[in-house]
Amino acid sequence: MNKINIGLIGYGVVGSGVAKMLLKRKSFIKNKYHTEFSIKTLCDRSLGKKDTKNLTHTKFTKNYLDIINDPEIDVVVELIGGMNPAKKIAQQTLQNGKHLITANKELMANAGQELFALAQKKSVSIYYESAVGAGIPIIQTLSEGVVGNQFTGLFGIINGTCNYILTEMTKSNLSFDQALKSAQEKGYAESDPTLDINGMDSAHKLAILVSLAFGKFIKIKDIYTEGITHISHDDIEQAEKLDLSIKLLAIAKMTDDKIEARVHPTLISKEHPLAAINSIYNALYLNADPLGDVLLSGEGAGQMAAASGVVSDLINLAGKGQNAHLWSNLSDENKKLKTRKIDDIESKFYLRFMASDKPGVLAKITGVLGRAGIGINSVTQKQHHQTSTVPVIMLTDYSTEKKLRSALNTIHKMPVVKAKPVAIRMEKLW
């Protein structure tokens, strides 16, 4: 029987879920994998407020060094999130020759290369399946399952909060604020949901995916990031009429030794599999050669979904052995690859202008777009109402981001345009 002692740092939603799952699956894991996991020590700064009655053989501490410096602990599971003190915990864990399991996407996105180099030096491993897509085996699939393939593109719905909000706005006709409140009430969104709804959570996860798929460690500042707060029912209504869906997509493509990486609301065909990914479900759609297109999907949020990924990491650690070399831990990168700036990327766009319902307004707007060299494929304007403001919807031909943004800035300054124009990129995924 293989026995592995765990030091668990962080006993919040995910940490308590891991403890619950290890206890519930104890006999199953023993019988199938001939391994016994023991949470030797638990560290949490709010231990007095937590229910730990089932952890009868576990020591408790508020000092993470009690775990890191314990020679009997084989693996440290970090589940506190953020950079500070998580980065210090990760560094000291590896420095002391212990394996690290984490669900911390911010840590792995910003410090992954540095931590992998330290892990290689100390002959230990980092497992981080739950950092992207909770329990969906995205990390293992990219680093093991399809590792012989070359990737040209990946498209991910990798934030359950935003996907839930957009789903509720579409299917239940809720406002953005109503959908967000519902997500918070159901535990799908934090009390401060900023990192979710502004796209930053997806950007951190995309940085991890780019390193695995393309062998390039990309800085968060080089990922164009846009959230969903500007999406309205007008946009959803128009999308439905066009047989399209609005999704917050994390997109990465490689062409001519340049990587484009971006996170933003995107209009996609309802015929594409990603359009059917709703509520808190996450999905990753990969363009792989020679395998073809691959879709991974499952619950991307929630206590037990994330706990499942962590426990899978523990079992994989036990199965691979203490000295296993993980392809997901490579610190080298392709120095030739550069990042493509958002200004240079071409897309078709959906545009919405809130404009005065007066004669000549449409001509003024299309005139600015025309002078910028932006072709218009279609225009939709609601029925005239005197002195009212109405949405004007346009679909463009392909245009660079730089040209479009310049034209929109000019249009925004027009007295007849009453709000900041909304632009949603249209992506062809087939």
Give the span between the Cα atoms of 343 and 338, in whole angstroms. Answer: 15
Task: Mark 308-345 as b/e (b = at least 16 C-beta within 10 Å).
Answer: bbbbbbbbbbbeeeeeeebebbbbeeeeebebbebeeb
The amino acid sitting at 21 is M
Contact yes or no for 304/191 (Cβ under 8 A)? no
Give the span between the Cα atoms of 393 and 350, in whole angstroms. Answer: 7
Tokens read off for 152: 């040209």
Give the span between the Cα atoms of 184 and 174, in whole angstroms. Answer: 14
Active site residue 205: yes
Is 214 exposed, middle or buried, given 0-12, 13-18 or 19+ CB atoms closer than 10 A?
buried
Cβ partners under 8 Å of residue 45, min gap 6: 62
Contact yes or no for 257/336 (Cβ under 8 A)? yes
Cβ partners under 8 Å of residue 72, min gap 6: 5, 40
28-35, Cβ contacts within 8 angstroms, sequence gap of 24 or more: 29/315, 30/1, 33/2, 33/315, 33/318, 33/319, 34/1, 34/2, 35/1, 35/2, 35/3, 35/4, 35/315, 35/318, 35/319
- DSSP notation for 36-73: EEEEEEEE-TTGGGS--TT-TT-EEES-THHHHT-TT-
Catalytic residue (choose from 205, 216, 247, 253): 205
Give the span between the Cα atoms of 175 and 21, in whole angstroms. Answer: 36
**How many CB atoms are located within 10 Å of the residue 27 CB?**
8
Give the span between the Cα atoms of 104 and 83, in whole angstroms. Answer: 9
Helix axes 160-171, 176-185, angle to 10 degrees: 130
Would you say the C-alpha torsion 186, 187, 188, 192 has a positive or negative sign? positive
Which residues are designated catalytic? Answer: 205
